Chains A and B, each alone.
Chain A
Amino acid sequence: MGPQEIKTAVEDARQGDREAFGKLVRHYQRRVFLCAMRVVLNEEDANDVAQEAFVRAYRAIDRFDGRSEFFTWLYRIVVNVALNHRRANKRKPTVSLDSGASGVLSAALKQQAAGNTQREAELRQAVGDVRHALGELPDSLRATVALVIFDGLSYAETAKVLEVSQGTVAWRVHEARKRLRQILEKHLDGVEVDDR
């Protein structure tokens, strides 16, 4: 969908055209899912969060005034829903990589390891550590990391989605990297630079 098609679909959806909204969903569903995944760190939950975000967007679309990009508006909903979900599930056990819920990931790891069980164990270890490290971040840092590091949004865009200043975004990214480094340092030991 091009920008004009998106604009038309948004306008139609605002008039209650569900099929038009369906086009928007199909256009953005993957990106929304990925964004949700990076906040909740669980594919199954991310799917639920993505659905919930779209449902809320549909309910609220008459409040979307069209002055901003639809995707930015949608992204804010996704982040809010994902953070709410995360807060609501703080006491829920983290899904193990070995469990059925993460079977997709396990399969991917196996594939990546290409039959090398030691490599697979290393990958599994790294994935577990990274998810644990991300899980330790406060919500504000995690959401910022999701937008800046994973999604590649600029500080300005991230600031608008999260309704904070660009300076705050910069500090959060810096702080998040610092904290992640503390937990994941062992995976970075092999990094070297040339003498010059």
Chain B
Amino acid sequence: MNCRQAEGQLSIYQDRELAEDEQQALEEHLRGCKACRLELAKQGALDMLLKRCVEPRMPEDFDGAFWPTIEERLENDPGDPAFAGAGSGGGREYHFRSSPALQALRIPGAVAASPGTAALSVAAPAVAELEPTKPSYRWPVAFVFATLIVVAGGVYMMSAPAPQPSATLALNSTSAASDKVDVPKATAKPTVGMAANSDDTKKAGTGADVKDPFAKKGAENAKTGTGDKPTGETKTASPAVAAKRERKRSATKKASTAKSTKAAAPAAPAKKVATLAAPAKPAAKKKPESIDSLIDNALGGQAVAKPKAAKAPVASDAPKSLTMNQIRGGMRKIKPSVQACYDKYQVEGKATVKMTIAPNGTVSSAKIKGKFFGSDTGACVVRAAKKAKFPKFSGPPMAGISYPFMLQ
């Protein structure tokens, strides 16, 4: 073995992963080669340096506070397997960032009710309309949608007289007042690992004399990397874009009164549309509400002022969301119907239903996942799930709630 070959194996040797015969050959070489021994010693010293310098200190009261914090999060955001939740983690937002569309649209340091906020809201429905379990499509679709909106907004701005104050008002009219929302995000699903656990800490000495690198004098004065500061770039949404959003939403509404009013006053529209649209808050309203709220969260919870009228028509003292027990309770009641599906089709297995619960306590959408997808049994289970009833709540619709039934 020559030095070059030895060098290629030192790292593996250091980790004690070398095959026995290779190890013997390497050790043979090391006995006669001081340079390689030094190389190995430096490698060992490097590992020691790394471990000593990245020796984490547990936060104070870590053991006592850790689980209660998690439990609180679980309590507040039940049922969403793709949950990224607005937690109690000191206002951090990384859980939202893995939603690619939101990541793309996030504005560092944006102030609530700023024009930037409106821009986010405009593009947000693209996120809501995407299938949450197919993250690979979200980027391109959201990007195309956002581009279209921006272009359309630009065209509108060029063609229409400036509707000055509408941006904030338009946003307000559709924002949810909740501080939390359960919208699934495109997250890399954790897959099941296969390895055996290993608590043993292998790797001891390296066979060479290693001096503690800390005994050495520190060299010149390098500083810890400071990274780049967020540039705080802000996408400004013109009022025209906000007005455009209102126009789009209004177009989807069934209420002909809102439509006609809007058609009658297209240029000063946002405030009026908002006012008129608010009472007739129907199903079409659901997604934008939930997304607005999500964006508020993504912006650090600095929600714009939200009129009560924009909220779903539920009791004001209702909880903001359902607890896991409430969801379980509702689902338990439909178990006989689900069992009937098995009795009818005689197919065993786990049928997981993914659904959205509306604030009025009904299931607004349900899909079957897994092996029953597209089957008669699956369709039957979905029908049963759609009949589930839950207590009313005041927050946005709870999307992406998965509930498994064992059919047997």
Chain A residues within 8 Å of B, Cβ to Cβ? 16, 18, 22, 25-26, 29-30, 33-34, 37-38, 41, 43-52, 54-60, 62-65, 67-73, 75-77, 80, 84-85, 88-94, 96-97, 104-105, 107-108, 121-123, 125-132, 134-136, 145, 148-157, 159-161, 163, 166, 170, 173-174, 177, 180-181, 184, 186-196
The residue in chain A whose Cβ has the minimal distance to the Cβ of B210 is A191
Q: Which of B155-202 contact A (CB under 8 A)?
A: 187-198, 200-202
Q: Are A193 and B222 in contact, CB atoms less than 8 angstroms apart?
A: no
Stretch at the interface among B39-47, B111-119, B132-140: B39-47
Give the residue name and chain of the A residue nearest to B43 (CB). A177
Chosen A-B contacts, 22 in total, with CB atoms closer than 8 Å, are A43-B57, A48-B94, A55-B70, A59-B83, A60-B190, A73-B192, A80-B188, A91-B229, A93-B227, A93-B229, A122-B214, A122-B217, A127-B53, A127-B54, A134-B54, A136-B225, A148-B15, A149-B15, A154-B17, A173-B12, A194-B209, A195-B34
Inside 8 A of B214's CB, which chain A residues have their CB?
122-123, 126
- The 6 lowest CB-CB distance pairs between A and B, nearest first, are A160-B195, A122-B218, A130-B53, A72-B193, A88-B97, A128-B224
CB distance from A146 to the nearest CB of B (A): 9
Within 8 A of A (CB), among B1-59: 8, 11-12, 14-15, 17, 31, 34, 37-38, 41-43, 45-47, 49-59
- Do A52 and B89 contact each other (CB < 8 Å), given the known contacts A93-B226, A129-B222, A130-B54? yes
- Smallest CB gap from B400: residue in A: A59
Q: Is B74 an interface residue (CB 8 A)?
A: yes
Give the size of the chain B interface in residues (CB under 8 angstroms): 96
Cβ < 8 Å to A, chain B residues 133-152: none
Contacts of B191 in A (CB 8 A): 76, 163
The answer to whether B92 and A131 touch across the interface, beta carbons within 8 angstroms, is: no
CB distance from A170 to the nearest CB of B (A): 5
The interface residues of chain A, by DSSP majority, are classed as helix
If A29-B62, A60-B190 touch, whether A130 touches B43 (CB-CB below 8 Å) is no
Residue from A43, A65, A190 having most chain B Cβ neighbours under 10 A? A190
- Known contacts A43-B57, A52-B84, A192-B41; 19 additional CB pairs below 8 A are A18-B71, A30-B62, A38-B56, A44-B59, A60-B189, A60-B190, A68-B194, A68-B196, A69-B196, A77-B190, A88-B98, A126-B213, A128-B222, A157-B198, A174-B11, A177-B14, A187-B213, A187-B218, A191-B45
Contacting pair A170 B83 (CB below 8 A):
no
